[in-house]
Amino acid sequence: MSIPLRFAIRWLSYPLVFGGCASFMIWALYAGIPYWPTTPIVAAAGLLLIAGLERIQPFRRAWLEDHQDTLTDLLHMLVNLSVIQFTAEFLAKLGDAVWS
């Protein structure tokens, strides 16, 4: 794998995937697409994409080892899903306030 690609996966994948998911959810809110099941599906797809990229190019090799931290990972996932949803709703409301 080339150095620029490894750099991009290592440093840019999370912000790009997070931003892309949030942007899509904002668009979906404006387009009238229902929250359920769209938002959980998009958030889960983003998390799976990040997990896959982390397997391909881990930020730290030691993270690939099993540390018996599944509960921590699940809590982290729930926090991420909440942050993604909050961000999408906040930006949609901000957009309404600015464009109204």
Distance CA 62, CA 27 (A): 37
**Among 75, 79, 72, 17, CA closest to 49:** 17
pLDDT, tens digit, 9 for 90 and up, residues 44-57: 898 889 888 888 87
Distance CA 84, CA 20 (A): 10
Average pLDDT, the chain: 83
pLDDT, tens digit, 9 for 90 and up, residues 48-93: 898 888 888 777 778 778 888 878 878 887 888 788 778 877 888 8
Does this model's pTM top 0.85? Answer: no
* Positive/negative CA dihedral, 53, 59, 64, 66: negative
**Residue-range domain boundaries for the chain:** 3-99
